[in-house]
Structure 1
Amino acid sequence: MLARIHTDHKHILTLLRVLSGKAKSLREGKEVNLTLIRDVVHYLMQYADHSHHPMEDILYRHYLDKTGRDGEVSQLEREHERLRVSTEELLDTLGMILNDAVVPREKLIQDVEAFVEMQIRHLKYEEAKVLPLLEATFDEEDWKQVDRLVASKLVEDPLFGRASEQEFEDLRNYLADVED
């Protein structure tokens, strides 16, 4: 379970680097592929907000039930909700732009940069504080129980998974080109 979460985080960071690079290009006055940015944000909404974060929330609730202490994990469900709202808002802005609505370039740049910063801060917090705490607290029986609890949230990653969806084909090709 933790290996999957770490892998998801690595993939999300890859996409956040793409967004950061696109924001930098926008700041430099360059033209960027806004559809690519939208695809990254859409993936984060579809996979992170609807599968990855709910799966983590189940882990955190199990920790709270087991220990009765909230400590490092108390803010995570609230953070996940803020991330979800931020993702939806950025996706809405991108949709408006792609449908020819006028949105100031500086607003888009600031929104993308703030989105990336919020996401990275969240991932670092989970990696440095929460996941080590879960690893130190859960025993084999806890992991078995958590596996049963998260089974309904586990979906194949639509971008990085083996059975990748056609919907993200352009983004997958872009990532493959960047790696070459």
Structure 2
Amino acid sequence: MLARIDTDHRHITSLLNLLADKIDRLEQGGAVQMTMLHDAVDYLHRYADHCHHPLEDILYQYYLDKTEQSEGDVHRLAQEHHNLADATNAILDTLRMILNDQVVPRERLIKDLQLFLTMQRDHLSYEDNVLLPKVAAALDEDDWSKLQVMVADKIQHDPLFSSSARDYEDLRAYLAE
């Protein structure tokens, strides 16, 4: 399960790097393909918010129950997952407006994308550097076996990065370059 989370984090990071590149291009006055931006954020909404984060929430709750820790870090995680979902929806709304030929000032788009990117990167850093090491140290093989059963209904194929993926064809081709 930790390997899956690590893989997901690497995939998410590749999309965040793509967003950073597109933000730079926007800041320099260049054009970007809005459908690609939309697809990258839509993936984060569809996969990270609805599969990856719920899996992490179960893992961290299990960790809390096992170690009898106070909620501190894990409560923060749940709040961050909620805030990320809200931010993702807000960026998607903005991108949909643009794709529907509504006027959105470039500066607003850049600012919103920068805030979104920072929020996503800070979240990944927090998980990778604070929470996941604690969880890895606290759980044993029996715990991981129990967790596999608990998260079975949350595991979905990755709609962008799995070998059987059929969605986001243009984005997948771009990332492959």
Per the normalisation by structure 1, the TM-score is 0.96
Residue equivalent to 1:172: 172
1:96 aligns with 2:97: yes
Return the alpha-carbon distance in structure 2 between the equivalents of residues 12 and 6 of structure 1.
Answer: 10
1:75 aligns with 2:73: no
Return the alpha-carbon distance in structure 2 between the equivalents of residues 88 and 42 of structure 1.
Answer: 9
Query: Does 136-145 or 70-79 show the bigger shift?
Result: 70-79
> How many positions carry a matched residue from both structures?
176
Offset at 1:162?
Answer: 1.4
Offset at 1:72?
Answer: 2.6
Return the alpha-carbon distance in structure 2 between the equivalents of residues 95 and 112 of structure 1.
Answer: 14
Residue equivalent to 1:13: 13
Task: Compute the RMSD of aligned alpha carbons.
Answer: 0.8
Q: 1:117 is paired with a residue of what secondary structure? A: helix
Residue equivalent to 2:150: 149
User: What is the correspondence of 1:1-180 to structure 2 with a 5 Å cutoff?
Assistant: 1-69=1-69, 70-165=71-166, 167-177=167-177
Tell me the alpha carbon deviations over residues 49-105 of structure 1, each in whole angstroms, 9 at most, x when there is no partner.
Answer: 000000000001101111221243221011000000000000000000110111110
Structure 1: unaligned runs, 5 residues or longer:
none
Structure 2 residue identity aligned to 1:51: C
Return the alpha-carbon distance in structure 1 between the equivalents of residues 155 and 78 of structure 2.
Answer: 18
Structure 2: unaligned runs, 5 residues or longer:
none
Return the alpha-carbon distance in structure 1 between the equivalents of residues 41 and 108 of structure 2.
Answer: 16
Per the normalisation by structure 2, the TM-score is 0.97
